[in-house]
Amino acid sequence: MNCFSSHILVDEQINIAMEAREHLTSQRQVFKRMQTRFNDITNRFPMLNSLIYRINARKRRDSLIIGIVVAICTFLLLLYAFH
């Protein structure tokens, strides 16, 4: 009986893994379609591509600035805590 129930549990886990794989595969296909559509739009409108590049550059710069501010604040807090 114990062997039979362990087989059932293994089968259930395999089914769960297969469903997860199917779900991830369908998500991948959706993202590929979205990327293709996005590339088509950017090819039609070159100004949109430069705008997206500028937005991403600004986002990277802002992330870097926030990271530096957090690092400095953390350093100052640690310095204050240990002195």
Confidence band of 2 (pLDDT split at 50, 70, 90): low
Q: What are phi and psi of 16, to 5 degrees?
A: -60, -45
Average pLDDT over residues 28-52: 87
User: pLDDT tens for residues 45-77?
Assistant: 888 878 888 999 999 999 999 999 999 999 999
Q: Strand, coil or helix: what is 26?
A: helix
What pTM does this model have? 0.46
Q: Is the pLDDT of residue 1 over 60?
A: no
Q: Give yes or no for a contact between 49 and 42, defined as CB atoms under 8 angstroms apart.
A: yes
Mean pLDDT for the chain overall: 90
